[in-house]
Amino acid sequence: YYLFYPRQHHCQTEEEFNWLLKEEVHAVLKQLQDVLKEASRRFTMPTPGLESQLKQENFILGSSTMDQVKGVLTLQGEALTQADINLKVTKSSQVLHFQFREDKQWKLQQIQDARNHVNQALQLLNSRDESYHFKTGAEVNKLMDAVMLQLTRARNRLTTPASMTLPELATSGLMKMFTPPMPGDVMVNFYINLSKLCLTVYQLHVLPPNTTKNFKPTGSSVLHNPGAMFELNNNRFEVSHVHKVECVVPWLSDTLVFFTISLQLCQQLKDKISVFSSFWKYRPF
């Protein structure tokens, strides 16, 4: 590193930087657009031959180590359109069977939000087409930061399911979706974790009013453990059994890879710009 750059070197660097702003930035933006269009397409895959209808996929959720719960879930874009759940009750070994009522479907808010963030990132990129001339590195950085924010939010929606309290679960709209109706001692929850579609079934028992058990209501969590307690409509409940089954959704795996690639492209462009801006400390980049 020189302390003083020869003037000729300076001009060359300035030319390189102008080329970066004019040519390379747009090449990277085009790459980003292509990757994010692929990601966006994964959220809205059409049925082969029926382009107007989203593709329906069935996922079998079960566990090789336990057979208490089996579920067959039908995912269509962001909506669970059908759910079929078998629960083997631990005490009696009887099998309970529930499915969605025909008029009902359950929106997976995580998928909907992730898709919206991807589309917002695409809108940001579309607002700077090839004819647009970036004047400073700061302007490019600002765009990259905005795109990265949307992509990070999209990824976070898939990697961090919502925390819920047990009373929130018990009174959620999901509990009203089934036929026959869920009994008062069973609760279910669906969520996305990374690329997995997860189903959790809770079995509860009522704590007798005169119980000497130290009652301590549990806070919110993605997954509650046996022994967790809550109060609802003047009754106190304790979770006796928790069954969690899951299944990988391949297109969600693809989407997470696309997020990683896109974030890397953004960061690499920011790094290139910071190399140039360290040449001219006195220039406002």
Domain boundaries, the chain: 4-282
Give residue-wise pLDDT tens across range 147-163. Answer: 999 999 999 999 999 99
Q: Which residues does 196 contact at the CB level (< 8 Å), separation at least 6?
A: 246, 247, 248, 249, 252
The Cα–Cα gap between 156 and 159 comes to 5
* Whether residue 214 has pLDDT greater than 70: yes
Give residue-wise pLDDT tens across range 220-250. Answer: 999 999 999 999 988 899 999 999 999 999 9
pLDDT confidence bin for 56, thresholds 50/70/90: confident
Mean pLDDT of 207-223: 86
Beta carbons of 104 and 86 less than 8 angstroms apart: no
Mean of the per-residue pLDDT values for the chain? 86
What is the pLDDT at residue 7?
Answer: 44
Mean pLDDT of 155-174: 95
